[in-house]
Structure 1
Amino acid sequence: MANDGQIRPFLKWAGGKRQLLKEIRRFIPGEFDTYYEPFVGAGAVLFHLRPRQAVISDVNGELINTYCMIRDRIDELIESLSMHRNEREYFYRLRSLDRSSEFESLSDVERASRFIYLNKTCYNGLFRVNSQGQFNVPFGRYKNPKIVNEDVLRRVHQYLNDNRVRILHDDFAAVLTTARKGDFVYLDPPYDPVSDTASFTGYVVNGFPKAEQIRLKLTVDSLTSRGCKVLLSNASTPFIRDLYRDYTMFTLSAARAINSDATRRGKIEEVLVANYV
């Protein structure tokens, strides 16, 4: 593991793992070669482990562009972030950019800056798109959101540059084709919904239906046959428990934090699935 001091996620993310890090840490292998995380999201587990050699990816192109800009153009990104305003009209003007041709003219730094700004100022810090791929979370009305967290951004920048971290934008199965014996793979896919109204897979247009959960399980089988160590997080639903019935499974309790109704943000059961003890 790298010794880069405390690094924490630079985004709030639906399904983020900060609250479960102590539990997840108990199941991390003591030694491994390359770390893989193809559903990296806000990177809570990545930044907690700080592996010296890693491959990270996500299907959300705006997220991956933001990682790349933090790695490659941190000063420009911080300067751009400092120009944003926590104002309703300004928020909706930036939000609407992906509904016009103007979005295509944004630089990579401007896109990353917009992405972080919307995350810090939108309702509950969510990233969600509609069926046209347009960001559609309303203004959060926070009094003083920390749009520019320079210390966190620079720590992430240093970690990504001081270690061998490949940043990809690809399907999980494609990312994992290079994983070999001795590597460790952490999988945190969009969760199987616990009810018809509980699904949150809206950070990509097509979501993550059961067919994708099955394809992921087949990928876990392939990784296992190659000698990779795999740890997977998901909801504790009958479907997931049956799907991974041949693997070791642990149950955790986590707080639901993204429901629009605050009274329904209680504890839910999650599972950790492992192909090792």
Structure 2
Amino acid sequence: MQSKLVKSPLNYIGGKYKLLKQITPLFPNNIDTMVDLFCGGCNVGINVNAKKIIAIDKLDVLINIMNIFKKLNSHDIISIIEANINKFNLSNTSKYGYDYYNVNSSDGLAKVNKKNFLKLRNYINHITNKDSVEYYILLYTLIIFSFNNQIRFNSKGKFNVPVGKRDFNKKIRNNLLNFIERLHSINIEFICDDFRHYDYNRLDKNDFVYADPPYLITCATYNEQNSWTETDEIDLLNLLDFLNDRGIKFALSNVLESKGKSNDILKKWSKKYNVNYLNYSYKNSNYQIKNKNSKSVEVLITNY
């Protein structure tokens, strides 16, 4: 684990930032290449010590934003974000504070920004040329002002997250600066692809694969529209068996139980490996026996 933890500027559903202090000590030492499957906001990959990191996700928007963060310096990115904020007349509490908008921090800025936020969202949803740096930084600006800074698109590919309570405040700005600084200091490559398509034959025993897939038995937004099925689950588990047969270390984040549901496929498969129980409340301690029947049983399954 890196000495200073860096939080992703993308609040991707299922992000593992709050679990880093539990899961990264369970990772191998002296990793040559780490493959971060389903990288999402990259909270895990960017905080792991490895000679090289391959971050893979099939959401092209996510990977394109990451590559822009990697390509441009933080000053240029922030300048473009602030220009977008001015152009669409959104709030800027980092510059003016909350009193300027006649609101307080606890109530938030949703009422202040809703009208212009919807204008920005509508504008972005009608852009046809999505190959430019400007488009993705504009999209990231929209994400900043969205509910919980989330990324979600409907079945027609339209961004549909409602307005949020926050803006480009000092905390979010610092998260972005620290993330970009870390990106520029490590050897990391972002790839947009399905997890089944990566060439795992290039890996050897000094490499490590971390998988944080959509959870089969949960109802998070990333698993809407039947985007993760039992077939996907079995394909991933077979892939991890393949890695194990080749002597390549892996770790899998998942839940065995959640809100009365049980992932029996995963439970049966996990008996071959080591199951590390994590504290779902994200405190730095392990599950106790009495907690096994609580809402969710979150685990890290390893083959070492």
- After TM superposition, the score normalised by the length of structure 1 is 0.82
| Cα 1:255–1:134 shift into 2, 3 Å | farther
- The answer to whether the 8 Å contact 2:52/2:188 transfers is yes
Give the drift of 1:243.
Answer: 3.3
CA-based RMSD of the aligned residues comes to 2.6
- The answer to whether the 8 Å contact 2:278/2:297 transfers is yes
Q: In the alignment, does 2:160 pair up with 1:139?
A: no
Identity in percent: 27
Cα distance between partner residues in 2 of 1:153 and 1:186: 24
Q: Which residue of 1 aligns with 2:206?
A: 182
Cα distance between partner residues in 2 of 1:147 and 1:267: 34
SS at match of 1:249: strand
| Equivalent residues in 2 for 1:53-132, closer than 5 Å | 53-74=52-73, 75-83=75-83, 84=85, 85-86=90-91, 87-97=113-123, 99-100=125-126, 103-106=127-130, 108-132=132-156
Greater displacement, 217-226 / 242-251: 242-251
| Equivalent residues in 2 for 1:218-233, closer than 5 Å | 218-233=238-253
Greater displacement, 235-244 / 19-28: 235-244
Q: How many residues align?
A: 259
Q: Which residue of 1 aligns with 2:97?
A: none
Greater displacement, 230-239 / 214-223: 230-239
Q: Which residue of 1 aligns with 2:9?
A: 10
SS at match of 2:280: strand
Instruction: Report the AA paired with residue 56 of structure 1.
Output: A
- The answer to whether the 8 Å contact 1:127/1:135 transfers is yes
Cα distance between partner residues in 2 of 1:199 and 1:153: 25
Cα shift readout 1:187-224 (whole Å, capped 9, x = no counterpart) = 11111224xxx343258x66111211111111111111
Give the drift of 1:147.
Answer: 8.1
Q: Which residue of 2 aligns with 1:40?
A: 39
Cα distance between partner residues in 2 of 1:216 and 1:131: 24
| Cα 1:95–1:255 shift into 2, 3 Å | farther
2:182 to 159, 163, 169: 159
SS at match of 2:275: strand
Cα shift readout 1:145-189 (whole Å, capped 9, x = no counterpart) = 528944433433333333321111111122352332220111111
| Cα 1:251–1:13 shift into 2, 3 Å | same
Give the drift of 1:81.
Answer: 1.0
Instruction: Report the AA paired with residue 183 of structure 1.
Output: D
- The answer to whether the 8 Å contact 1:34/1:53 transfers is yes
Cα distance between partner residues in 2 of 1:82 and 1:229: 43
SS at match of 1:174: coil
- The answer to whether the 8 Å contact 1:62/1:115 transfers is no
SS at match of 1:9: coil
